[in-house]
Amino acid sequence: MTLIKLAFILCGLALVGAAWWSATMNARAADWPDTRGTIVRSEHRQAPDGDNDSVRIEFDYEVVGQTHRGSKVSYAGLPAQSADKAALVARYPAGLAVRVYYDPADPGRAVLEREPSRAWIAAALMGVALVAIALFTNFLN
C-alpha cells in the first residue's frame, strides 16, 4: 500500500470519527439542562490573507454555585464562511445574557446552541469517500 493510499484511509477514518463524535455530542446536548450565562468575549479575527479567520466566543455561567467559563457555541461546528462567522459574533456580543446548556455529569462542559445539525453527515460521507477511493480504485497508484 502506498503512503498516499494510507494517508487517504487515515484522513477518511478521522473524518468519520469526528462526524460520529459531533453527532453523538449534539444528541447528548439536546437533553442537557440550562442555566443563565453572560457572553464575556466575542471576536472575529480576520487574517490578512482572508483565508484563516477565526471566531472566539466565551461565556460565563453558574451551576450549583460554581462559576464556569465555556467557549463552545455548538457541537455542530462553526460556520465556514467569513460572513457567517461575523454574523455569529454579532449574534453573541459581549455582555449579552444567554441561555447556556450544560452537561449535568460534567458542568464544565456547555454549549450555547443545541439544535440538531446534519453537518456531520457531509463529513462522514467525505470520510467514507476517501477510504473508498483508496481501497477500490487505481487512482492513487
CATH number, domain with residue 77: 2.40.50
Domain that holds residue 87: 32-114
82 and 141 in a common domain? no
CA–CA separation, 82 vs 122, rounded Å?
20
> Taking the complete model, does pTM exceed 0.85, yes or no?
no
91 and 42 in a common domain? yes
68 and 9 in a common domain? no
HEC-encoded secondary structure of 101-130: EEECCEEEEEECCCCCCCHHHHHHHHHHHH
Amino acid at 133: I
Alpha helices in the chain (DSSP H): 3-29, 82-91, 119-136
40 and 22 in a common domain? no
9 and 45 in a common domain? no
**pLDDT digit string, tens, across residues 43-69:** 988 777 666 778 899 999 999 999 999
16 and 50 in a common domain? no
Read off the pLDDT of each residue in 26-55 and give the average, rounded to a whole number. 86
67 and 49 in a common domain? yes
Parallel/antiparallel/unpaired status of strands 34-45 and 66-70: unpaired
Structural domain tally of the chain? 2
